[in-house]
Structure 1
Amino acid sequence: MRTFWSLLALVALSVLGAFGWHWLSVDPGYVLITLHGWALETSLAVALALAVLALALLYVLIKLLRYPFRRWRRRRQRKARERVLEGIQASIEGRWERADRAFAKAAREREHAPTALLLAAQNAHAAGANESALRYLDKARRAGAESGFVIVECQRLLGEGRAEEALALLDSSTAAGSPRALELRVFALIGVGRADDAQLVLPSLRKSQLREGESLIELEREVSMAIISQADSGEQALLRWQALPKAQRRDPAIAVALARRGIALAQSQSMADPIEDLLDKQWNEELAGLYGFLQAREPRKAIKRAERWLEAHPLSHGLLLSLGELCRREQLWGKSQDFLNRARDHESIALWECFAALWIDRGDHARAQQALQNALRLSRGESSQPVRALLPAAQEAVVLEQRGSMGMPLLPKEPTSREFRWD
């Protein structure tokens, strides 16, 4: 199409030239120019040709005069681009000071100043120099990088947990429709507890093609998990889960969010059925560990179902914890302790909390206290201590005096103790 229009323009110029030549051949015209006693006579055609030639010479002269300045400017722009690339490379390698110097030099060129200042702000933020980052952001905004300023500032605010300020900045900006701004809006809405509004932004984000494939699926999963986690009741959480697409209802991570929300609200009775169906079809260790803490309608059936799962997954630490908790609630204390003992190969905070709950139910508060202390130690990154059963004073062993052949008292061979190690 472009070639067609070029040929059409050449034909039109040829026709116009032929028409002009015919028009001037009939009457070539007459031009007279006088200046300070000098006179110049010529035809109109020659005068036009001389004028065109003069303009061409003037154009060439101006080009020649501007050539050194243009070359110098191009050199500056090339150096600025090289410094931007140098700064990016240094920032990737963690050379913060070198990157900062490169971006600062690149910012001296007006055309590259907005980009260089935004990159300098990101580099300073990554290096922990928040004051320098704010200063660079302010300069970038004054240099005309309004949209870039909004995006980088929102990233900083969200990184600091200031979702409300990030959302307010996006609402007041004209760059809120850019793909990156849409993505940041999703995170900001989740951060302020409005995950249901974040879901409304997802269609526009899909059209922008900022995220595709697994990256988009991960973002959609995060939004769905937040929607369930922000439910005000167990019933609302279940309704929101049921409203999700079928593929997401099969997602173990979203099911974990559903179970956790129900347990946190103590309203998980209606959630046991979908969790059981999912575990029957797709095993998930974390979900199995939460199953025992749900409020099953028929606890005895839940125990039997979990025991069938245990036959297929005998080394499942989470399932052993769930069985221990289910049996404890049904006052099957012996079975509960057996399951928890089998889970001791993978020591965890939840394991010691389950032991503590079991011993509290059995009235063994001394052991329960030690179990809670172990849970606290693990939360601090320390190792647990052996749990000991403390015998009452009335059951203290009586040590009989022993004497030697000469009638002298002998020391006992082994020291007596009120404690014994629990295995």
Structure 2
Amino acid sequence: MKAWRWVLLLVVIAALAAFAWPWLAEDPGYVLVRLRGWRVETTAIAALVLLLLAWALLVLLWRLLGWPFGALNRRHRRISRRRLGEGLVALMEGRHGDAERDLQRAARLEALRGPALLAAAEAASRRGEYARALEILDQAGQAAPRAARVLRARTLRRAGKPAEALALLVPEADARTLTPGGWRELALAALAAGDLRRARSALEPLRQSGALGPKAYAELESRILTASLAAAADAAELNTLWSQLPKTQRRVPAAVEAYARRAIAFGLLLPAMDELEAALHREWSPALVRAWAALGDVDAAASLARAEGWLASHPNDPALLYALGRLSMKLGQWAKARQYLERALALAPDPAAWEALADVHAALGEWTQAQAAYRNALAVTRGEKVAAPLAEARPGVIDTRPIALEERDEHGVPRLRP
């Protein structure tokens, strides 16, 4: 673009000269300079040209004189940029000592001082040298105060001082001038400090900022809502908190599950069941199915009928099959319970399902199979290999039932299991 600018400037000058030449040729002007006996006479045009040449000569001379100093400055900038790049690469590679050294050297260049010191503080923080990181942030605060404040809060939170990190960010949060990264740190610090109200208040600004992707934001939102609902001291506080949450947050599956489990603890079985069934109607969730199954004591027969209706739409869901097995056990339907639990275990190993199956075998007097199922439950809990295959649960009986049923969408195309 610079070349085009020069070309355009030359074209403008040429056009001006072409239009001004007839006027200047008629009367070129007269300039007389006398100095200590020296006398110079010339036209105004020639004087202007001489002045331009003198100015160009002075500029050239000044640049020649400043070239050695400019060369040193250019070398300093080049080395600082290289050290900044090397320091950032070392930081990403986990060579935090090398990263801090290179970044501190890069910070000697004023233009790179802010980002270099911030990255150096992050390197020191990752090494666990929190006091050193805070010292570097004192210097970085002069060049990039807002970024340094957010990074200071992160360092304090990592150092196990979430209350101090929260106090550092609260003034800007109240003024609604906190950066997106600051809202994230505020939410995490408040969650760690137990200030769940403040953590919830950071969710909406954080969502609007778009600083986190949908998955990361949903995970953080679930953590905060779950902790908030689990911390309710009594049923009245739980219901008040649940009613005050925005509608979008009351639809988060983790929040619905946390509310239901806390409501069960306070004896609010019917409200918990209503919320779970409404959530399952909106979006199917195996975790919610397990929470719903824990409410089977309210009306086991009606719950079993409702769950068997869901089975038509979700025939290969281990959580639903486990819930059906538990509900069948509550009604004393041991053969049906064994069928559901075996199908659930064939689809996905689960210690709770193995334990439930062991209880079924024990109720049926099948002590050998019950002991094997208990051993498998313990093995799955420990992350060990199941000792006995499912097919050996009832020796001598050939199981011809399908483990997984084919599912098709509304167009008749088979669905693939994830």
- For 1:147, the equivalent position in structure 2 comes to 146
Q: Aligned-pair distance for 1:310? A: 6.3
One-letter code of the match for 2:292? Y
Normalising by structure 2, we get a TM-score of 0.64
Contact 1:268–1:294 (8 Å) recurs in 2: yes
SS at match of 2:40: strand
Distance in 2, matches of 1:199 and 1:105, equals: 38
Q: Does 1:101 align with 2:101?
A: yes
8 Å contact kept, 1:190–1:198: no
Contact in 1 for aligned 2:190/2:196 (Cα 8 Å): yes
- What's the offset of the Cα at 1:63? 0.6
CA distance 1:274–1:319, change in 2 (3 Å):
farther
Aligned residues: 352
Of the structure 1 ranges 133-142 and 83-92, higher mean CA displacement relative to structure 2 is found in 133-142
Give me the identity figure in percent: 26
Q: SS state of the match for residue 255, structure 1?
A: helix
CA deviations on 1:13-54 (whole Å, 9 max, x unpaired) are 8289839964992641422222xxx42332462444333322
Name the counterpart of 1:289: 290
Q: How far does residue 334 in structure 1 lie from its aligned partner after superposition?
A: 7.0
Unaligned ranges ≥5, structure 2: 363-373, 387-418
Within the candidate set 220, 224, 232, 1:222 is matched to 220
2:299 maps to a residue whose letter is E
Residue 169 (structure 2) aligns with: 170
Seen in structure 2, the aligned counterparts of structure 1 residues 310 and 50 have a Cα distance that, compared at 3 Å, is: closer
Task: Report the equivalent of 1:413.
Answer: none
- Structure with greater Cα Rg: 1
Match of 1:320 among 304, 315, 322: 322
Residue 270 (structure 1) aligns with: 271
Measured in 2, the distance between the counterparts of 1:289 and 1:335 equals 21
Letter paired with 1:244: T
User: RMSD value over aligned CA atoms?
Assistant: 4.9
Question: Is the contact made by 2:324 and 2:337 (CA closer than 8 Å) also made in structure 1?
Answer: no
**Which SS does the other structure have where 1:128 is aligned?**
coil
Partner amino acid, structure 2, of 1:137: L
Q: Is contact 1:325–1:336 with CA below 8 Å preserved after alignment?
A: no
SS at match of 1:41: strand
- Any idea what SS the aligned residue of 2:140 has? helix
CA contact (8 A) 1:157 1:163 kept: yes
Q: Cα offset for 1:240?
A: 5.1
Once the two structures are superposed, residues 206-227 of structure 1 have per-residue CA deviations (whole angstroms, 9 ceiling, x without a partner) of 4xxx44xxx1354156336634
**In structure 1, what is the Cα distance between the partners aligned to 2:22 and 2:134?**
66
State yes or no: 1:41 paired with 2:45.
no
The CA deviation at 1:129 is 2.6
Q: Give the structure 2 partner of residue 57 of structure 1.
A: 57
Aligned to 2:248: 244
Give the Cα separation in 2 of the matches to 1:288 and 1:323. 12
Task: Name stretches of at least 5 consecutive residues in structure 1 with no aligned partner.
Answer: 360-370, 385-423
For each residue in 1:46-84, what CA deviation from the matched residue of structure 2 results, as whole angstroms up to 9, or x when unmatched?
444333322221111111111122122111211111111
> Aligned AA for 1:193?
L
Report if the CA contact (8 A) 1:121-1:133 is conserved. Answer: yes
Aligned to 1:10: 12
